[in-house]
Amino acid sequence: MAQKIQGTEDLFGGYMRAWQHMQDVARELFGAYGFDMIETPAIEQVDTFVHGIGESTDVVRKEMFRVVSGALMENLLAAGSERGLKAKQRMAMRPEGTAGVVRSVVENNLVPQGAAPAKLWYAEAMFRGERPQKGRLRQFHQVGVEWLGAPDPAADAECIIMLMEFYKRLGFDPARLRLSINSMGDAACRPAYRQMVRDFILAHADEMCEDCLERAEINPLRSFDCKNDHCREVMAAAPLAKDNLCDDCRTHYEQVKRYLDAAGVAYVEDPTLVRGLDYYTRTVFEVEALDAGVGAIGGGGRYDGLVELEGGKPTPGIGFAVGFERIALALAAQGGSLETPEEGCVYVACASPEQRGAVFEATLALRQAGIRSEADYQGRSLKSQFKQADKCHARLCVVLGEEELARGFATLRDMESHEQVQVPLPELAPQVASRIA
């Protein structure tokens, strides 16, 4: 039997409806904040991710799925390395949405100088070659937003406020979520801070793991996230970004917090929150569902240098993404559910096979009127058609029998009360519509 790849999932039934529900909630809420939907290709040039996410990140170094066509694979195998490939031929599945959206904003000039900011949201599958476990998939789904061209700290605060409202509308109790925030500084103050952390790690080299020693050279801030408990103990004494911000970054961060306070959004400041993607500057944030055991259910931050890294003019940016699968797990762990009930339908039954043609016509008329309708396609008896109607959650059954049809009528049977009324055939669709409304 053919099997799906480990770390991937099929979305169908209630799970599919949950994903659609999440998108519906996003469309309504993000729409009110002025965001329009965007969809970028699932494959991009590797360089789009290397420039944006950062060459030294785990996502780029270890987790990106590379894409090679059959013909290219033959050339690659013959050449023994990808060195001969042109940039355009080096492709990868997107591990996240931000780099691709920013690439699209630059390529399509969506934020021309002096224009209004671009506010975009997406609901897409992402791909990361991680070791699959609960809440960690190789293909997962994110709803995310990217807001380009807004340097004001109010944009940071609005993003966070909108994110927390999103969780609330999905059914989370805000008291059981933890929002962590931090400022990572910018091009003016971060290089010196990075150097301080690097020096700190090297000064404690004999106490740190091999990975952290490598991180000291390529990405020292990631050592705050080391899985090794002892490294984290050592890092507890490392210099913190919040104590090493330049004046502009400090003022920006203070203003973001003031806006959050004014909006009544609860947060904790976590000075070790560094996030796993290199493009962040200033504000970063992450959300966890308490006692759910699935890790972060969302995160984001400001990325004022990313547009330039993707070849555009200096343009600030901020955004976030939330993971659908983790949200479904976290809500379930907290006793809730993302699933919406299956939509009810109207079942059109015939008393005997002679009325099959009339059923065909009545079903078409109902569907034309936008009413979700079902009928029998397997020659079932009337009794088993009623059973089938129950199975597909029909609230109403239209029964077409020889005698009613001869008089130009149909019988409407309420599946709950079993009450029956007769309606003239030309009025079938409006009568059904008003009864199920």
Q: Considering only residues 52, 54, 117, 323, which one is a binding residue for ligand HAM as defined by CB under 6 A?
A: 323
Task: State yes or no: residue 285 binds ligand HAM (CB under 6 A).
Answer: no
Say how many CA atoms lie within 13 Å of 167 toward its Cβ: 31
Mention every residue, 6+ apart, whose C-beta is less than 8 A from residue 164. Answer: 174, 177, 179, 265, 287
- Give the bridge partners for 227, in sequence order: none
For ligand HAM, which stretch binds (CB under 6 A), given 66-74, 169-177, 229-237, 319-327? Answer: 319-327
For the bound state, the minimum distance from the C-beta of residue 238 to ligand HAM, rounded and expressed in Å, comes to 22
Q: Return all residues near 90 (Cβ < 8 A) that are at least 6 apart.
A: 45, 46, 47, 66, 82
Nearer to ligand HAM, 193 or 320 (CB): 320
**Window 115 to 134, contacts with ligand HAM (CB under 6 A):** 128, 130
Among 52, 100, 149, 299, binds ligand HAM (CB under 6 A): 299
DSSP state of 130: P
In the bound state with ligand HAM, the residue whose beta carbon lies nearer, of 284 and 429, is: 284
Question: Stretches 8-16, 178-186, 239-247, 322-330: which one binds ligand HAM (CB under 6 A)?
Answer: 322-330
Mapped onto helix, strand or coil, the DSSP state of residue 250 is: helix
CA nearest to 120, candidates 210, 39, 28: 39
CA–CA gap between residue 273 and residue 284 (Å, rounded): 7
CA pair distance 361, 430, nearest whole angstrom: 15
Q: How far is the CB of 128 from ligand HAM (least distance, A)?
A: 5
- Residue 146 or 374: which CB sits closer to ligand HAM? 146
User: How many Cβ atoms sit within 10 Å of the Cβ of residue 379?
Assistant: 8
In the complex with ligand HAM, the residue whose CB is nearer, 8 or 251, is 8
Query: Is residue 97 at the binding interface for ligand HAM, with CB under 6 A as the rule?
Result: yes
Q: Report whether 210 contacts 154 (CB < 8 A).
A: no
Residue number, 285 or 347, with CB nearest to ligand HAM = 285
Binding flag, residue 96, ligand HAM (CB under 6 A): yes
> Closest distance between ligand HAM and the C-beta of residue 186, in Å?
15
Q: List alpha helices for 82-235, DSSP H.
A: 98-107, 153-170, 190-203, 210-218, 229-235
* DSSP state string for 342-379: PPPEEEEEESSGGGHHHHHHHHHHHHHTT--EEE-SS-
Sign of the torsion formed by the C-alpha atoms of 258, 264, 268 and 274: negative
Residue (190 or 326) nearer to ligand HAM, CB? 326
- Based on the shown chain and the rule CB under 6 A, indicate whether residue 103 belongs to the binding site for ligand HAM: no
For ligand HAM, which is the closer residue by CB, 224 or 347? 224
Closest residue to ligand HAM using C-beta atoms = 323
The one segment of 75-83, 208-216, 320-328, 428-436 that binds ligand HAM by CB under 6 A: 320-328
Residue numbers of the site for ligand HAM (CB under 6 A)? 96-98, 128, 130, 135-137, 140, 142, 144, 146, 276-277, 296-301, 319-323, 325-326
